[in-house]
C-alpha cells in the first residue's frame, strides 16, 4: 500500500498547496503544508470528510465501505466483490442502470473497486450534479434491492471476469496460488474475486445478510474532494443520509496467521514458452514503522533499470526478461512479493539463486545513504501525479481513514519516511527476507510436467 507521507513530500517539493487551512500534526505545520481536512459525523455513525479545492471545476465523491474479502469465510468467498456489481442494480427509487443513465450520460465517471480490506464506490463529476450523486449514493446504501434473477445474472458476469483475469491468465493463476500458499489461516489466503464454486453457490439470503451486516452508515466513510460548497454539501448529506438507521459497526474477527517456519513451494503448468516465478515473504502491516523501511528496500532492489536486482539478473547475468518486487503492507500483515520471467529455457532456480545473492548482500553489507535518498525521491515522484486530481487525493484520504481511522495521520508519515536509515533497511532485510519465511510458486511450460 502506498504511504501517505510520500504524497506530502512530493507536494512540498512541487510547492503545491491545497485548501487554505493547516494540518493538525506538527510535522506538517513545520513543513509549511496547508491542507485543510474537515471531518463530520452523523448521528447514525456515518463519517464524512471534506477537502475543498477550487482549482478545477471537478468533484470526486467517494464512498468507502469497510468490507473486503477479509470479512468473508471459507465457502463464502467473493461476496464483497459480488457486491461491487450488485450495488449498481438499483433500488425502488432508482432502478437498474440509473447510475449510468443519470450520471454518466451527463459526463460523470462512475465506478467501483474491491480490495481485501475495503470496497470503494466513486463518482467524478461537475459540481452541478452534487445533489443527485448524494441522493443516489445514500439511497443505495440504505435501500439496495436484489432479486434472484439479478443475483444469477451478476454471478455470470463475475465468473466471466474471473475466467478472463485469473483462470485464463498465467500471471493471475500464479498470484492466486501464491497468496493461498503463503497464508494458512488468514483470509488474505483467498482471492478478492472469490472461488468459482463459492460464487455459484452464493444464495440470495447470504447476499441479503451480508448487505445488512456491512452496508450500514457506521461502517462507511464519505470522502468529498474538489470544487464544492461545504455547507451546502453537508446539508445535502444530512438530508439524504440521516434517515438511514443507526446500527453497530460489525466487529472483524480475523484469525492471526501463524509464523511460517519453513519454505513452501508449488509448481503450476501452462502453455508458456519460459518459466515464471513468484516469491512472497511475510512482512508487517501498514500501521507498523517497518513498512516504511520495507518500501525503501523494495525500491532499492527493484525500481528501474538501475536497481540492484535488475542490474544483477537482467543486465549482468541476462537470465530474466524482467524482475519486479514490492512491499504490500495492508491493514493486516502483508507480503513482500518478487516476480519475474526467465529467458529461454533457463530454470527459475537460476534467478532464485541470484536473488538470494542480491538480498544477502544487503543483509551483510547494507545499503548506502545515497540509495536511501534516491529511493525516497523516486517513491515521491511516483505518487505526486496520482494525487493532483480530486480523485487521487480522495483515494489517499479514504485509504488512510479506512485503514487507520484517522484521516490526519497521513501528515505524520512525513517524518517516518525521511527518518528511514540505512540501518533500518538492513535490519528489515535480515528480519523478513529469509528462506524459512518464503513461499515460492513456479509456473513451468506444460512440456515439463511429465519430467517432474
pLDDT per position as a tens digit, 113-125: 999 999 999 999 9
* pLDDT at residue 31 in the model: 37
Could you tell me the domains of the chain?
A: 44-241 (3.30.830.10), 264-448 (3.30.830.10)
CA distances from 311 to 182, 196, 276, 360 (A): 28, 40, 19, 15
Confidence label for 26 from pLDDT (cuts 50, 70 and 90): very low
pLDDT tens column, 253-278: 899 999 999 999 999 999 999 999 99
pLDDT tens column, 62-104: 999 999 999 999 999 999 999 999 999 999 999 999 999 999 9
The rounded percent of the chain whose pLDDT value lies above 90 is: 84
At residue 103, the 3 state secondary structure works out as: coil
In the block, which residue shows the cell 447470504?
206
Q: How far apart are CA 411 and CA 182, in angstroms?
A: 33
In the block, which residue shows the cell 512491499?
327
Confidence label for 16 from pLDDT (cuts 50, 70 and 90): very low
In the block, which residue shows the cell 477550487?
54
Q: How far apart are CA 295 and CA 425, in angstroms?
A: 9
Q: Are 365 and 292 in contact (CB under 8 A)?
A: no
3, pLDDT greater than 60 = no
* pLDDT at residue 103 in the model: 97
Q: How far apart are CA 192 and CA 170, in angstroms?
A: 17
247, pLDDT greater than 90 = yes
The rounded percent of the chain whose pLDDT value lies above 70 is: 89
β-sheet bridge partners, residue 337: 280, 326
pLDDT tens column, 283-324: 999 999 999 999 999 999 999 999 999 999 999 999 999 999
N residues, the chain: 452
- For 274, phi and psi rounded to 5 degrees? -130, 155
Q: How far apart are CA 239 and CA 184, in angstroms?
A: 46
* pLDDT at residue 20 in the model: 31
* pLDDT at residue 2 in the model: 43
Q: What is the mean pLDDT of the chain?
A: 90
28's grid cell: 506538517
Q: How far apart are CA 114 and CA 190, in angstroms?
A: 14
* pLDDT at residue 270 in the model: 94
Pick the residue with more confidence: 29 or 217? 217
Give the 3-state DSSP-derived string for 330-358, with helices as H, strands as E and coil as C.
Answer: CCCCCEEEEEEEECCCCCHHHHHHHHHHH
pLDDT tens column, 170-189: 999 999 999 999 999 999 99
338, pLDDT greater than 60 = yes
In the block, which residue shows the cell 503450476?
268
* pLDDT at residue 412 in the model: 65
CA atoms within 13 Å, Cβ hemisphere of 48: 23
* pLDDT at residue 442 in the model: 98
Pick the residue with more confidence: 50 or 413? 50
Amino acid at each position: 500500500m502506498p504511504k501517505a507521507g510520500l504524497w506530502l513530500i512530493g507536494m512540498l517539493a512541487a510547492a503545491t498547496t491545497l485548501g487554505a487551512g493547516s494540518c493538525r500534526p506538527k510535522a506538517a505545520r513545520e513543513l509549511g503544508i496547508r491542507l485543510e481536512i474537515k471531518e463530520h459525523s452523523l448521528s447514525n455513525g456515518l463519517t464524512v470528510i471534506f477537502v475543498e479545492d477550487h482549482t478545477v471545476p471537478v468533484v470526486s465523491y467517494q464512498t468507502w465501505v469497510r468490507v473486503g474479502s477479509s470479512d468473508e469465510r471459507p465457502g463464502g468467498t467473493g461476496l464483497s466483490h459480488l457486491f461491487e456489481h450488485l450495488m449498481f442494480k438499483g433500488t425502488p427509487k432508482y432502478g437498474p442502470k440509473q447510475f449510468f443513465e443519470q450520471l454518466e450520460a451527463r459526463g460523470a465517471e462512475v465506478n467501483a473497486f474491491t480490495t481485501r480490506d475495503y470496497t470503494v464506490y466513486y463518482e467524478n463529476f461537475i459540481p452541478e450534479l452534487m445533489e443527485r450523486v448524494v441522493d443516489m449514493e445514500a439511497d443505495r446504501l440504505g435501500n439496495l434491492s436484489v432479486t434472484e434473477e439479478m443475483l444469477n445474472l451478476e454471478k455470470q458476469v463475475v465468473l466471466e471476469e474471473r475466467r478472463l483475469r485469473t483462470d485464463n491468465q498465467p500471471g493471475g493463476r500464479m498470484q492466486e496460488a501464491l497468496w493461498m500458499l503463503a497464508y494458512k489461516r488468514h483470509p488474505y489466503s483467498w482471492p478478492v474475486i472469490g472461488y468459482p464454486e463459492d460464487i455459484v453457490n452464493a444464495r440470495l439470503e447470504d447476499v441479503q445478510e451480508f448487505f445488512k451486516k456491512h452496508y450500514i452508515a457506521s461502517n462507511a466513510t464519505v470522502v468529498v474532494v474538489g470544487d464544492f460548497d461545504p455547507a451546502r454539501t453537508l446539508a445535502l448529506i444530512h438530508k439524504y443520509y440521516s434517515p438511514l438507521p443507526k446500527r453497530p459497526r460489525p466487529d472483524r474477527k480475523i484469525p492471526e496467521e501463524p509464523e511460517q517456519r519453513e519454505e513452501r513451494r508449488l509448481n503450476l503448468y501452462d502453455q508458456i514458452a519460459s518459466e515464471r516465478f513468484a516469491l512472497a515473504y511475510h512482512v508487517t502491516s501498514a500501521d507498523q514503522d517497518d513498512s516504511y523501511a520495507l518500501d525503501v528496500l523494495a525500491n532499492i532492489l527493484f525500481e528501474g533499470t538501475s536497481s540492484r536486482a535488475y542490474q544483477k539478473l537482467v543486465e549482468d547475468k541476462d537470465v530474466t526478461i524482467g524482475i519486479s518486487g514490492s512491499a504490500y503492507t495492508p491493514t493486516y500483515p502483508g507480503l513482500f512479493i518478487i516476480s519475474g520471467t526467465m529467458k529461454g529455457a533457463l530454470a527459475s532456480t537460476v534467478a532464485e539463486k541470484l536473488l538470494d545473492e542480491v538480498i544477502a548482500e544487503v543483509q551483510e553489507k547494507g545499503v548506502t545513504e545515497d540509495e536511501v535518498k534516491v529511493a525516497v525521491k523516486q517513491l515521491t515522484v511516483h505518487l505526486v501525479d496520482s494525487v493532483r486530481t480530486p480523485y487521487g487525493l480522495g483515494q489517499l484520504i479514504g485509504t488512510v481513514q479506512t485503514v487507520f481511522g484517522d484521516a490526519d495521520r497521513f501528515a505524520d508519515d512525513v517524518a517516518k519516511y525521511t527518518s528511514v536509515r540505512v540501518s533500518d533497511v538492513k535490519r528489515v532485510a535480515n528480519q523478513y527476507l529469509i528462506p524459512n519465511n518464503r513461499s515460492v510458486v513456479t509456473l513451468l511450460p506444460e512440456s515439463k510436467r511429465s519430467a517432474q
